[in-house]
Amino acid sequence: MSSAKDSGLDPELAARLKRTEDGLVAAITVDDTSSDVLMLAWMDDEALHRTLTTRRATYFSRSRQQLWVKGETSGHTQHVREVRIDCDGDAVLLRVDQTGPACHTGAATCFDTDERVLLPRE
């Protein structure tokens, strides 16, 4: 995992982020057209810097301890339209154009299965 000073991330932007103990910030990804929540992943400073400079959603895999670009192997890419930081600086929101399913299970989003609904809509 990279630190702000060696990641290329703008120091002013890096200073606004509140990271977990392992240097990560939550990244919530939303479809730019439908506003459907697609997934939650994690970013270190280098992943955020790469996302901002390439417009290709880049995340940090906690299990593999390395960066990954969404769709690099599956072809289910995310072209980043906008990135926002939340009011506390502990999460970023990516608005993307999604190609193919967003979830690794093949579902359109990681939040679209009925069996995971805890409180149905009224």
Kindly state the percentage of the chain with pLDDT values over 90: 81
Q: With bands split at pLDDT 50, 70 and 90, how would you rate the model's confidence at 100? A: very high
Give the H/E segment covering residue 48.
Answer: helix 45-54
The per-residue pLDDT for 1 is 56
Q: What is the pLDDT averaged over residues 109-116?
A: 77
Distance of CA 86 to the CA centre of its chain: 13
Q: Is the pLDDT of residue 59 over 70?
A: yes
- Tens of pLDDT, residue by residue over 8-57, are 999 999 999 999 999 999 999 999 999 999 999 999 999 999 999 999 99
Q: What pLDDT band is residue 119 in, cutting at 50, 70 and 90?
A: confident
Q: Rounded to whole angstroms, how far apart are CA atoms 80 and 12?
A: 21
At 56 the pLDDT is 98
The Cα 66–Cα 53 span in angstroms is: 18
Give the domain ranges of the chain.
Answer: 4-101
CATH domain 4-101 topology: Ubiquitin-like (UB roll) (3.10.20)
Reply yes or no on whether the pLDDT at 3 is more than 70: no
Give the chain's mean pLDDT: 91
